[in-house]
Every structure is written in C-alpha cells, then in structure tokens.
Amino acid sequence: MSLAALATDLSLSARAHRVAAVAAEFAETVDRDARFPEEAVNAMKAERLLGIQIPARLGGEDATTLELAEVCAILGQSCAAAAMVFAMHQIKVSSLVEHGEESAWHIDFMRELAARQLLVASATTEGGIGGNLRNSICAIEIDGDTCRLSKDATVISYGTHADAIMITSRAHDKAAPGDQVMTVFRRGQYSLEKTVTWDTLGMRGTCSDGFLFKGEAPAVQIFPKPFAEIAAQSMLANSHLLWSGVWFGIAADAVSRAQAFVRAAARKTPGAQPPGTLRLAEASSLLQMLKSNILCGLKTYQQAKADPDHLSSMAFSIAMNNIKLASSETILTIINQAMIVCGIMGYKNGTPYSLGRHLRDAHSAQLMISNDRILGNTSTMLLIQKPDTSLLG
Amino acid sequence: MNETIRELLGKVGGLPGPVAELADDADLYAVGLSSFASVQLMLGLEEAFDIEFPDNLLNRKSFASIAAIEQTLTHILKSKEAA
C-alpha cells in the first residue's frame, strides 16, 4: 500500500500503525531521558485511539479486547512505554465501560472521554500495603455531596500527564482494608505532590512516579460497584491480556530484528547457513506459542463476559493468571534468543539490531504484579479448583 | 449447618470481629474475608460435609455471606442425595 493510501486508511490497524511510526521515531529518546512519550500519545489522540473502547452510542467505536490487544501489540513493536501507556489507559476505560453504565456521571464522562480524547491514569498502589492492590489503607471521606481523599500513591504512571485519575480507597473510615471503592477524579479536582522518581531499568517512559494525592470531587464520581467486583470482572482480565499484547509486541520486534540479522548474513554468504538460524527458528516457535496463549486468553474472556458469575470464578482467575505468567516469562526467553542471534550487534545500542531496550523493557513484565504473588494466589485456588484439562474449553 | 459454617469461619476466616455478631446476610468480603481465607473455609466445609464443590460454584457469589454458603451447601447436598 502506498503512503498516501495508508494515510487515508481509517481501519484500526492502519491508525495504530501510523501511531507506531511516530512512537518508533521517539522511542530512543523517551527511553534515554525517561520522559513521557508525548508525541506518540498525541498521535493516539489525533488518530482518536483513546476512546475506541467506549460504546458507539457514547461516541466511541465499541472496540473489543481483541482489537485493543492488537493495537497494544502494534505499538509494542515500536515503543513499549507508549504501548504500555495506551494499555494502562484502556484498562481504566474497561472499568468505566463495564461498570460505569449504572451511573449518569460515569456515562457523561465516557462521552467526554471519547469526544475530547481524555487520558486516564490509575492509582491503585499505596505505601504500606505491600503491593496488594486489593487492600487500601486510605479511606474516602464522604461529606454530603462531596468526597475527599488523600492517598500516599507510590506509583501513578503518567500521573502528571493524565486528564483524570481513577483511584482506590477504603469505602469509608471504618471499612476493612479489602472493602474498597474506586473514584474518578478529574484534573483540577486533585493535587499531586511528587514523592518518588521513576528512574528504572526499563519502561522508563511510563513515568510511574509516586505522589501524595489529595482530591476533592462530587461524591457521584465514586463508582457505585465495590472495587472487588471491578477488579475481578474487568481489571484482572484486561490487565493481563492488554499487557500481554504489549509484551508480545516487544518480543515480536526482537524476533524481526534477529531475522533481519540472519537474512543480512545469509545474503552476504550464499550457500552457507548463518550460525544464528536455528535459534531464530526456536524463537519463532516460542513467539507463536506466546501468540496462541494470548489469543486463547482473549477468547476465554470474550466467552466469560456474558456471565458475571464466571468472571468472578476461580477457573477464570486461574486462566488469566496463567496467561500473565506465561507471557511475561516467555518474552524474556525469546528476546534472549534474539540477542544471541544478533550477537554484539544486538548488545550494542544504536544498531538496526539493538535489543538492549527490548530486554530492559521486558524485564518489567514479571514484576508488574509480581509473578510470585500471582503464583501464590493460583496455588491457593488450586487447593480446591480442579485444573483445566480440556483442549476445547 | 449454620453453626458449622460459623465455627469454621471463626477458625480460618481471619475476620477482625467476632463471627457471632455477623448477620447471616452480611457480606463476608466486606468484613475482611481474604481470598486465601475463603479457600481455607471451602476446604474445611468439604471436609465437614464430605462433599466437593463443583467448579461452577467456585465463585464469589457462592461464598459471599453465611446465608449464601448455606444455600450453596444445601444445593450440593441435595444433588448428592439425588445421585
């Protein structure tokens, strides 16, 4: 397809590829300077990607989780940080779409999000809870029609760049740590005082700084559903599936670079098999397995969506946990294989085969919700839930 | 049955308050039942009633309150009798 034809192609895939081209151009500086991928996010807004998940009758495009994951994978091949910002935003939007329909305020907010391409951030982590987002220390204070919240949020990815923050807290000052609600605060309704700087090995552009959050807003902005249900029914699946989409993108680009390296070598010495080809074949097999894993998860989620009981069942949680575990571990093996194929040209920065950023970004996958915590949860559930032994589901 | 559930809940539920003060329809997750404790409770119930929870009942709703657990157990015991 010619560039001119691509420029007018309004399919989701073409729009995502145009954003990916912008993201790729700035990926190195975003990574080096640990700065927000502003150009890529502006391109997402220009291509109107931020609201695609919102129902069409509210101005969105009814995009499915499968379509969102595909966009994540396309962006992930260019700039993992920009792709992760997109994924995290869409995970928040999924909670609005799945649980916001009962409240007039949340419906209006969705309409505005789609129209004005608002970027939404998340504040679920808190100092002192040990990384378990299903517990809160802070409690929301409801005073007539107003709610107030102060939270030591140790991570709010792209917090200062967002147009709204969805934040968890205990439901009231006497609530148990697990009795939580989630509230949407719009920019202007909160202040952020930076407490921690995000200077990390990889995923440097997500700017996941820590902040002291202080907000005041109309109480109607609190989700009517308990956060426990939101977490189980929309956040769990969307997080693991969309993150996996991003990770697939990182691994897929690593395999493409390895293949380019092998092909260049093969063209220089026709008749001889370059040394890296077997490893490339292995990496391609792993990449296919990763793809099947994610697609299987997307299908499981699509089927479970029709039944809220199934969405909060152990079988479903285990399935989603397993997808996250497998994706986050497999990408490291794949990128490592690609690195061995490309050798010193992959290890060096600034070559067409550089894989340092891929490897560093990919290392975040095992840690964003620690795999050990996920294994722990699954192992508890397997004391009672039978393992899934069917092939067709 | 209600007593056995309450006794097990007291033993493995890890709730901050006394179980005796809980209403039958009180939301157990809201009063602090963790997912780990809920599995321990299920294991205890399986042992006490000599049953196995079928996969389709292993969801939040089935264990949301003492009344819901009673209902779940009654359902399982009935289908066991019928079998």
ipTM score for this prediction: 0.85
Choosing among A170, A180, A311, A314, which should be mutated to test the B contact, i.e. which has the most B CBs within 10 A? A314
pLDDT at A71: 98
Residues of B in contact with A377 (CB under 8 A): 35
pLDDT digits (tens, 9 = 90+) for A275-302: 889 999 999 999 999 999 999 999 999 9
Indicate whether A393 pLDDT > 70.
Answer: no
Q: By the CB < 8 Å criterion, does A387 face chain B?
A: no
Place of tokens 């308050």: B17
CB A69 within 8 A of CB A294: yes
Could you tell me the CATH superfamily of domain A227-381?
A: Butyryl-CoA Dehydrogenase, subunit A, domain 3 (1.20.140.10)
Nearest by CB to A309, from B16, B35, B59: name it. B59
Contact B39 A228 (CB under 8 A): no
Confirm or reject CATH 2.40.110.10 for domain A121-221, answering yes or no: yes
Mean pLDDT of A95-115: 96
Q: Can you spell out the DSSP letters for A83-125?
A: HHHHHHHHHHHHHHHHH-TT-HHHHHHHHHHHHHT--EEEE--
Domain ranges of chain A: 7-118, 121-221, 227-381
**Count of domains observed in chain B:** 1
Q: How confident is the model at residue A2 (pLDDT cuts 50, 70, 90)?
A: low
Summarised one tens digit per residue, pLDDT across range A114-150 is: 999 999 999 999 998 877 888 999 999 999 999 999 9
Structure confidence by residue, pLDDT tens digits, B14-69: 888 888 889 999 999 888 888 888 899 999 999 999 999 988 888 888 888 999 99
Query: Where in the sequence is the domain holding B73, given as residue range(s)?
Result: 2-82
Question: Nearest CA to A284 among A254, A264, A245?
Answer: A254
Residue A245 · residue A68 · CB < 8 Å: yes
SS3 A166: strand
pLDDT of A326 higher than 80: yes
pLDDT band per the 50, 70, 90 thresholds, residue B3 = very high
Non-local (6+) Cβ contacts of A293 within 8 A are A244, A323, A326, A327, A330
Q: Any idea of the CA torsion for A128, A130, A134, A139, to the nearest 10 degrees?
A: 0
Q: Tell me the residues of chain A between 317 and 376 that have a Cβ less than 8 Å away from chain B.
A: none
A232 contact residues in B (CB cutoff 8 A): 60
Stretch (H or E) spanning A170 = strand A164-170
Output the 3-class SS for B7-36.
HHHHHHCCCCCCHHHCCCCCCCCCCCCCHH
**pLDDT, position A143:** 95
CA-based nearest residue in chain A for residue B32: A176
* CA B16 to the chain's CA centroid: 17
Residue B50: the pLDDT is: 93
Task: Measure in Å the smallest separation between the Cα of A230 and chain B Cα atoms.
Answer: 13
* Interchain CB distance below 8 Å, B29 and A313: no
In this prediction, residue A227 has a pLDDT band, given cuts at 50, 70 and 90, of very high
Contact of A359 with A339, CB cutoff 8 Å? yes
Task: Tell me if B43 and A383 make a contact (CB, 8 A cut-off).
Answer: yes
Q: At the topology level of CATH, where does A7-118 sit?
A: Butyryl-Coa Dehydrogenase, subunit A; domain 1 (1.10.540)
Domain containing residue B52: CATH number: 1.10.1200.10
Q: How confident is the model at residue B82 (pLDDT cuts 50, 70, 90)?
A: confident
What's the mean pLDDT when you consider all of chain A? 95
Where b means 16+ CB within 10 Å and e means fewer, B51-73 reads eebeeebbbbebbbbbebbeebb
pLDDT of residue A57: 97
Which residues of chain B are within 8 Å of residue A384 when distances are taken between CB atoms? 39, 42-43, 46, 53, 58
- How many Cα atoms are found within 13 Å in the side-chain-facing hemisphere of B5? 19
Record the pTM. Answer: 0.93
Q: How far apart, in whole angstroms, are the C-alpha atoms of residue A211 and residue A194? A: 4
Best residue in B15, B27, B33, B35 to probe A by mutation, most A CBs within 10 Å?
B35
